[in-house]
């Protein structure tokens, strides 16, 4: 039997452990999928050095006034857009600081856009339209490692002088290995349903992207310990979280915490400095600026974690 139907990409191989999944009960399917998902964290940990290097590149881009630009297609693109969208409420960043680009544009977020991932001209055009520059770090996300839209975007970004990284679940082409500043390869293996990279590959991608933005933001001083002190309180839940953080770190009651938060213009970080140092908003903001957004040099260590 000829074997030219076999694909060298891990993401396109058949999984022998799930070859009879169509005969399984609902509970057996849950167990099979769960067993495959359990492989993912260790695979991500295997790329820890490369992930850390990418965090450093992204931090450097931010400190230079540049951006993190995600580019992907399908599930990979949607996950990049999702991670970008969650940075402003979590870390108080402007929307343009972390950008998510998906092949096919906004319509591709909610439905498949045929042929979008194969459009190399669109990948190049997105880099030009976004005015990618040497200040930026462009992270391509491609489960297979071969998506034409992503490869073209990375190539153009490199021509424009940006630093580049690739997140892939399969060994990328030699050219990408040689030209990207870092390649994060997470070999999660064949999917439960052959080629369905929304599964293990998607889970691994989400874990990696979480680490990239969270790690870079922590390095920028966007947290105090593990407290989210630069969040944007855009809904009732986040307003409540803001008040609770202030209460825990200053000893104020809920009403007082709400008052100082209002006086700080909604900034948790500014409110903490105002309450802990006994200064007004302007002085607190100057202190934060003088210490590059870091609270430890201003008010010391955060309080210890109280047991639940």
8 Å CB contact between 50 and 119:
no
Q: How many CB atoms lie within 10 A of CB 270?
A: 24
Report the chain's terminal Cα–Cα distance, integer Å.
Answer: 61
Q: What integer pLDDT is reported at residue 5 of this predicted model?
A: 60
Please give the model's pTM, rounded to 2 decimal places.
0.92
Residue given tokens 């630009």 in the structure block? 69
pLDDT score, position 6: 64
102 with 140, same domain? yes
Angstrom CA distances, 159 to 97, 153, 220, 259, stand at 21, 10, 28, 51
Domain presence at residue 204: yes
DSSP string, 68-92: EEEEE-HHHHHHHHHHHHHHHHHH-
Are residue 63 and residue 90 in the same domain, yes or no? yes
For residues 60 and 192, state if they share a domain: yes
* Residues 6 or more apart in contact with residue 157 via CB below 8 angstroms: 69, 127, 132, 136, 138, 164
Would you tell me the crossing angle of helices 200-219 and 26-37 to the nearest 10 degrees? 40
- Write the DSSP symbol of residue 224: B
Q: Which token pair is 50?
A: 């490369």
Q: For residue 307, give both structure tokens.
A: 């047991």
Catalytic residue numbers read 86, 117
Domain shared by 211 and 252, yes or no? no
Answer whether residue 228 is part of any domain.
Answer: no
> Edge-to-edge, what's the strand order for the sheet holding 163-168?
98-102, 68-72, 137-141, 163-168, 182-185
Q: What is the pLDDT of residue 12?
A: 81
Task: Specify whether the CB–CB gap between 170 and 142 falls below 8 A.
Answer: no
Residue 306 lies in a domain: no
Identify the pLDDT of residue 9: 80
Q: Which of 187, 219, 251 is the last residue of a domain?
A: 219
Q: Is residue 287 in some structural domain?
A: yes
What CATH number should be reported for the domain holding residue 131? 3.40.50.10490
DSSP 228: -
Nearest Cα to 287, choosing from 298, 296, 276?
298
Q: Is residue 139 part of a domain?
A: yes
Structure tokens that stand for 10 in this block: 């891990």
Last residue in a domain, options 219, 245, 262: 219
* Number of structural domains in the chain: 2
Domain that holds residue 260: 236-299
pLDDT at 140: 98
* Averages of pLDDT over each 10 residues, the chain, 308 residues: 65 90 97 97 98 98 98 97 96 96 95 90 98 98 95 98 97 94 97 93 98 97 94 85 96 96 94 97 97 95 88
210 and 240 belong to one structural domain: no
DSSP reduced 3-state for 184: strand
Query: 97 and 148 share a domain?
Result: yes
Residue 273 lies inside a defined structural domain of this protein: yes
Q: Which among 175, 191, 219 is the end of a domain?
A: 219
The helix, strand and coil proportions of the chain, stated in percent and rounded to the nearest 5, come to: 55, 10, 40
């Amino acid at each position: 039997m000829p074997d030219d139907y076999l694909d060298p990409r891990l993401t396109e191989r058949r999984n022998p452990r799930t070859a009879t999944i169509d005969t399984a009960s609902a509970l057996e399917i849950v167990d099979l999928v769960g067993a495959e998902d359990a492989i993912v964290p260790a695979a991500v940990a295997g790329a820890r050095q490369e992930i850390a290097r990418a965090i450093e590149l992204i931090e450097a881009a931010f400190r230079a006034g540049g951006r993190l630009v995600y580019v992907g297609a399908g599930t990979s693109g949607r996950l990049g857009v999702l991670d970008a969208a969650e940075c402003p409420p979590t870390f108080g960043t402007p929307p343009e600081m972390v950008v998510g680009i998906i092949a096919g544009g906004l319509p591709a977020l909610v439905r498949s856009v045929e042929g979008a991932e194969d459009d190399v001209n669109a990948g190049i055009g997105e880099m030009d339209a976004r005015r990618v520059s040497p200040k930026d770090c462009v992270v391509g996300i491609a489960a297979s490692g071969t998506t034409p839209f992503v490869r073209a975007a990375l190539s153009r970004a490199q021509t424009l002088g940006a630093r580049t990284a690739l997140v892939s679940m399969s060994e990328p082409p030699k050219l990408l290995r040689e030209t990207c500043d870092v390649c994060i390869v997470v070999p999660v293996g064949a999917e439960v349903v052959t080629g369905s990279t929304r599964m293990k590959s998607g889970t691994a991608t989400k874990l990696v992207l979480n680490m990239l933005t969270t790690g870079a933001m922590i390095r920028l001083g966007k947290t105090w310990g593990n407290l989210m002190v630069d969040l944007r309180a855009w809904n009732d839940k986040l307003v409540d979280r803001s008040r609770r953080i202030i209460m825990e770190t200053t000893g104020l009651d809920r009403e007082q915490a709400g008052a100082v938060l209002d006086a700080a213009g909604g900034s948790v970080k500014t409110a903490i400095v105002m309450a802990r140092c006994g200064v007004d908003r302007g002085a607190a903001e100057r202190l934060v600026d003088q210490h590059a957004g870091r609270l430890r040099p201003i008010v010391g260590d955060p309080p210890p974690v109280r047991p639940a």
